[in-house]
Amino acid sequence: MSRGLRLIPVVLLIWVIGGFAWRLIKPADPAIHSQLINRPVPAFVLPAALPDKPGLATADLATGEPRLLNVFASWCIPCAGETATLNELHRRGVRIDAIAVRDTPGAIRDFLDRHGDPYDRIGADERSNAQISLGSSGVPETFVIDGRGVMRHQYVGALTAANIPGVLRQMEEAR
């Protein structure tokens, strides 16, 4: 047998081990992204999560002005962590609506009193139907919605201060 033929199994083994090592060093993105990016927001109508704030419907997201749509819950620890970023975005003029997932009015009120309230509207999604229709796989998630009600970007997980420049740029692009 020629020397070259004997090296083929060794080369293949090194190639396979290299592939596994590459995946360990650079794992695949575990986030499940919505398949609705660049498509209209699915139709939903949610009742008000709090008596002093309006509920949320798809029509509220197609007003000619871009908005953020934040999916959150008062029982979600990362949601509490992202409120400083959402409050800063709101302070900078970003309009933010929310969907409260599997939550109660009392818990939502306590959450907002403790962490701040950047939301114009909050819809109550008691069974996660609207969340699922958006292609959201958990909380928190945030969507950039353009003025025509089309999803343009998605942030899976908590927003941080590092996200602010990108969100502001995407909101401007969504005009």
**Is 133 domain-assigned?**
yes
Q: What is the pLDDT of residue 10?
A: 80
From start to end of 20-174, where are the E strands?
A: 45-46, 56-57, 67-72, 96-101, 121-125, 141-145, 151-156
E strand or H helix that includes residue 105: helix 105-115
Residue 155 β-bridge partners: 142
The residue type at 136: S
Does residue 34 belong to any structural domain of this protein?
no
Structure confidence by residue, pLDDT tens digits, 36-67:
899 999 999 999 999 999 999 999 999 999 99
Domain assignment present for residue 72? The answer is yes
User: What confidence score (pLDDT) does residue 94 get?
Assistant: 97
Which sign, positive or negative, has the C-alpha torsion 57, 63, 64, 65? negative
| Any domain includes 122 | yes
Return the DSSP state at 26: S
Containing domain of residue 95, as a range?
45-173
Residue 126 maps to which CATH number? Answer: 3.40.30.10
Both structure tokens of 45: 């109508």
How many domains would you assign to the chain?
1
Which pLDDT score is estimated for 113?
97
Residue ranges in the chain whose pLDDT is less than 50: none
